[in-house]
Structure 1
Amino acid sequence: MQQRDLANGKIWFNEALLSEDPLACFDIAYWQQQNRVIGSAQGRGTTWFVKGENTEMALRHYRRGGLFGKLIADSYWFTGWEKTRSFQEFNLLQKLHEQGVNVPAPIAARAIKSGLTYRADILQQKIPHSQDLVGLLSQQVLADDIWYRIGQTVAQMHRAQVNHTDLNSHNILLDEQQQVWLIDFDKCYQQTGEGWQQGNLARLLRSFNKEVTKRNIHFNQANWQILLEGYHTP
């Protein structure tokens, strides 16, 4: 991880993956001027997909959700550079990536301080030709071996002692090689012990059941049992 100090902020980046100027790469106008914006997705704000020299990337500005987010859209209380959400997500993704867990490679992160608060952005690998499980399960039945590998991937994350506080069916992707990927590690963290891991799994099961009711996705208890078999396989 390389660091660039700014007058009122910091940028962290992986120089092996980012050939572009770290000072400019968080400005969507920079990518638009070069005609390198390849798409976008709406969520809590807009995630922009851009074509870098080394890989396709996803650029996201950190925004608050819920009612509080309507009052204070994108400012966070500053308590130290390494406690900013952008640094923590970058750092956590780097640790998972180094341990072989299928997560987006972190490319760059930025935090800009203003008084007692800061704003933040992150640039990470875009998983090519991938779709989240909800989109896939709305259209088709997944093979048993995929469910098994989903369980294995979640277990691999847990062996790295990472608590994914928003593990749900939208945050698991499948690419065209049928590889399983985990995404959206904002506000996630490493945690000792094992007691919290069942909470992650319970949240994931609730999200599948919710989507069955909401979108009638192809999911049943047999799928879940195969996922658990994969999870518990050493």
Structure 2
Amino acid sequence: MDIQEVNKLIKSQENDSNELRRILSNIKKDSTLRKIRPEYIDDRRKVINDVFVRTQQHDDRLKEQELLSTHKYITLNYFDNNIKKYYNEAMDYLHQCEQRLQDVQKINEQETATHSDATANLNTLNDPKIFIQQFRISQLSKKLSQAKIAITEEKPQWRLKSLFQSIQNQWQEIEGNHLELLVTENALEHDYFTSEYFDIIQRDYELTCELIEEKMNTSNEASTTVCAPSSSRGKLPPIKIPQFTGSYDS
């Protein structure tokens, strides 16, 4: 491999290192609503893997070159300390997104089953407090669904703020009633507790509030961010060959 090709590969490694860092930065900036979609996670993971496989192949070729033994690419272990580092960070972050997605899917599944049971049990409850609590939870669940749709459909801020306030008010009533039910001994064996109605709606409430706040904050931020040029970050020197002058002593 000649010097020109070596320098070209080193430059390619720099560019791919910056690309992995850029991808990770963009993923972190994306909204939670986007990051908990399966297709989003799969797409980003594929792009990251494609870049990393290419860098591995280039790294193998560069490490075969004896003239690189004292070059910073080798002495500073550029591949592990830059490329592999950003790759691992990006994959770990996507794994966290995937776990969050699984939590959301679990919440939705439990929520569907729970509210179906609640609807079926509304007319058979003996404790009026539990009846009221399950009714409130059912109403809050509908409001949470409305909020998620409003976020997806890019509804105006006033609509999000209105939903946010309504959700918080409903949650305060549910939380207060739940504390009262906890001190009622004969209620602890009820399906309300054994089926974790409160725990399920609490997770959905916290997630939805997070999505609303993130959406409102994003709308208030500037749409563009100035970034430092990638060429100024971790630039590696090219390989140079001493110029032959024609003297035997050169």
Q: Structure 2 length normalisation: TM-score?
A: 0.23
Higher strand content, 1 or 2 = 1
Instruction: Work out which structure has the larger RCO, using CA pairs closer than 8 Å and 6 or more positions apart in sequence.
Output: 2
Higher helix content, 1 or 2 = 2
